[in-house]
Structure 1
């Protein structure tokens, strides 16, 4: 009698939808905790091989991957547009920024992480001292849906350049983008699964946090970031958290008002306001307040949902935007554009709110939609005070001719852009991250490379000296000599 082979379990799947049309863009597996564990185990083996390629070997593969992304840019942008609903031009903008970051990380990894000599100090002048950065091993990256190329690659690229293998869990709203990135990377790194994809919902992400990775890089809401930190603490897994923001833009009396108004409109409404570093609050010097508001309103009237920006990608966010607008209006605020009827089934009309109390939800909570509040202030001291009166501290923007640098120094934020919107995000050499409820740790720049590596310090004795300090044979005479030496070196009054 022939044995009957058991049928393999049917894997659950989910559909990725175009938020503008509900058209099914693709179907993807819901990876279980066992699937995630298997991916991490495979990544552990791949990490050793990948680290063994050295800086130049890895840089070569990253450059080749960058070439594929560049030559197939239209294809990638099509996937992004279908899964997020954003216009092709906006999809291209984030992809181009990501390409710049891949180039920078590949080019600078050795310079930032390679072995360097340090001073051993006078007491250990018979030693050499060096420090180098070694890969962590396997990094888990949990990405967002609002910028599904630029944001996760800010972690993935730097982790790879530092010598780590990566297991990537994209948002359930943009799994196709994640698959495209992982598949194209495999074209230049076919030997081992150095960059792997796991797809699914919150449970899949939770499984990745608990799967024994060496670090988690998360981008998303503050609430979810706190849950990930709590789970990671159980295994002392370090985390990088890039969470929410309530970013301000401040406008001084000497600012270029045309440029400031254009930056405010772009910062508030691009990507349907679904930007962690987007402009949500604006504080304007009373001398130029009326002019600035008029310019913002005129520009906003030319911004059309479905043309300049796409739908709300996550349907539940519509309720948040609706609640914030309603609360602002109920508490005495006025809508100069958009307003009570701004929130539709998929799209939200760009909404400019004025006279909104500072303790309202529209000012205190992250809206993550195409709205902005504009407030008049008597001077820049009041502007800075109100800008800093938040639990968040991600990005900020300053428009001023004479006082921009001084104002930037006073703002509580991880990143500041002066006289232009979001410039810090495009500069690959600058670290990206926030403070407070906006999270901690950094991606991008030298800090981003070091975030995914561990420092190793090495002190080597070159020759023996008569005065030995680390021995039980040390004499009282030696102790007195050391005391005199230290006093002579460091005890002088300045």
Structure 2
């Protein structure tokens, strides 16, 4: 009989490591179920105070946090670089974009969520109809390691701006970054409205069952399903931002140099560890050779090395996944025009570009999460769209075309698209972020992201007595006839 794994004991710790060197960056507690529940209880107490503030007061607090973060961005970027492995300049970019999202959420919450009038219709013309969006209470956020500031902030900042308290569990690979975010918030605001819990996967499952009012998760599709199952036990709603297999579509009239540059950056930035990173490219046959030549030339000088433009693979187990995808592509007739199986090292993976890869191969169908991409020739944009959509994922994509970019992007089954740019939608705070299919559901960022962490509160207020009282047992036969006549006038005549 197999014994159940030992549950964490109070006082247990784990270490976060620099993935480039293996050196210890920090030591953090593995929090027990009781400790997680206590954090949620503390957040529940703070939620009452936080929700009672006006939108303007919450905006002032969030702006104070934003200012403090901005003043200490180099410190945060250095921590991200050491704990997650990405180059310092990339870490600075990530942190800067996160700050911009805090500003947008704080500045737009009142306009999006505040009480506003809606039409009451002719049948209920005597009523004043209004809607407001109220905070849920306590939101749990389980963050990823690949963008340990920007990605969780899409939930944290928007949930806070909407009036919720938040309990944040960062990835076990980047707990120090999570601790930094919570510490600076408490320094700026002076109240523990944002709580921190740290630990391994089991700690996240504790949070799912700890009585939060909603859970926002970012991570793999497989783990997202486990999160949903755990939350289902208490009917806790979830936001799931899971994996992707995003494509770049290159039309015959595209700027080939710009498309190649964008595809290469989208595939290799952050060592390919980006849910909205580029993993597939579909190029019109008229410009295929030119595109392959251009991207190969641009990639020739790139190297994944400590202190370089491409960092290490953060999660050691992912190296095996990347190796298997590349080897499967080669075994099935694919060809590496750059890199290949030998490019996959113990900590670093060199840029790898594959062509002639079958569409049903692992490298085309499964999320690789490394600095690799496949390039396929297509006869038309119809074929490019069809192959782009032939996946269970649907997160983002990019289209390069001078004349038909919008038309092509409209046909792609994904939550987001960029035209003549790559991943640009993520940097626009007013645009919702999220996917379809196995890429998850729900939205962060934009008005939809604010509303995601609220419930709609509708109020109908009688302004004057109705001509026909519909909600009374004293309603007469005459009133029923009048109602029928009104309905006939409103809806009984077909409109062209």
Aligned residue runs from structure 1 range 51-450, under 5 A: 51-191=51-191, 193-306=192-305, 307-450=308-451
Counterpart position of 1:6 = none
Cα distance in 1 between the residues matched to 2:178 and 2:240: 19
Instruction: Summarize deviations over 1:272-303 as a string: whole Å, max 9, x none.
Output: 00000000000000000000000010011111
SS at structure 2 position matched to 1:415: coil
Q: Secondary structure at the match of 1:316?
A: helix
How far 1:493 sits from its partner (Å)? 2.5
In 2, Cα distance between equivalents of 1:333 and 1:235: 47
Which aligned pairs between 1:438-477 and structure 2 lie closer than 5 A?
438-477=439-478
**1:5 corresponding residue in structure 2:** none
3-state SS in 1 of match to 2:470? coil
Deviations 1:302-361 (A, max 9, x none): 111121111000000000000000000000000011102011110001000000000000
Deviation per residue, 1:184-227 (Å, 9 max, x gap): 00012223x20010000011000000000000000000000011
Mapped contact 2:10–2:31 kept (Cα < 8 A): no
Structure 1 residues 427-460: Cα deviation after superposition (integer angstroms, max 9, x where no partner): 0000000000000000000000000011100001
Post-superposition, which runs of at least 4 consecutive aligned residues in structure 1 deviate over 6 A?
none
Q: Which residue of 1 aligns with 2:3?
A: none
Call closer, same or farther: CA 1:10–1:38 in 2, change over 3 Å: closer
Deviation at 1:85, TM superposition (A): 1.1
Q: Which moved more, 1:459-468 or 1:64-73?
A: 459-468
Secondary structure (helix, strand or coil) at the match of 2:316 reads coil
Distance (whole Å) between structure 2 residues aligned to residue 20 and residue 109 of structure 1: 40
Measure, in 2, the Cα distance between the counterparts of 1:83 and 1:301.
28
Q: Distance in 2 between matches of 1:340 and 1:172?
A: 29
Partner residue, 1:4:
none
Residue equivalent to 2:20? 20
CA distance in 2 between partners of 1:132 and 1:282 (Å): 44
**Aligned alpha-carbon RMSD (Å):** 0.8
Give yes or no for contact 2:113–2:134 (8 Å, CA) kept in 1.
yes
Q: Which runs of 5+ in 1 are unaligned?
A: 1-8
| TM-score (norm: length of structure 2) | 0.97
Deviation at 1:54, TM superposition (A): 1.5
TM-superposed CA distance for 1:466, in Å, is 4.0
The residue that corresponds to 2:29 in the other structure is 29
Matches within 5 A, 1:35-54: 35-54=35-54
Q: 1:112-155, CA deviations, whole angstroms, 9 ceiling, x for partnerless residues?
A: 00000011111111110000001000000000000000000000
- CA distance in 2 between counterparts of 1:489 and 1:327 reads 63
Check the 8 A contact 2:10/2:30 in 1, yes or no: no
Cα distance in 2 for partners of 1:212, 1:27 equals 27
Q: Is the 2:10–2:32 contact (alpha carbons within 8 Å) kept by the matching residues of 1?
A: no
Partners of 1:488 and 1:79 lie apart in 2 by 67
- Work out the CA distance in 2 between the residues paired with 1:217 and 1:331: 39
CA distance in 1, matches of 2:487, 2:193: 51
How far did 1:10 drift?
A: 5.5
Helix, strand or coil at the partner of 1:249 = strand
Gaps of 5+ in 2: 1-8
In the alignment, the residues of structure 2 paired with residue 403 and residue 419 of structure 1 have an alpha-carbon distance, to the nearest angstrom, of 11
In 2: Cα distance, 1:333 partner to 1:466 partner: 75
Q: Give 1:109 deviation, angstroms.
A: 0.3
Say if 2:50 and 2:193, in contact at 8 Å, map to a contact too.
Answer: yes
TM-score by length of 1: 0.97
Residue 380 of structure 1 deviates from its aligned partner by 0.5
Deviation string for 1:244-286 (max 9, x for gaps)?
0000100000000000000010000000000000000000000
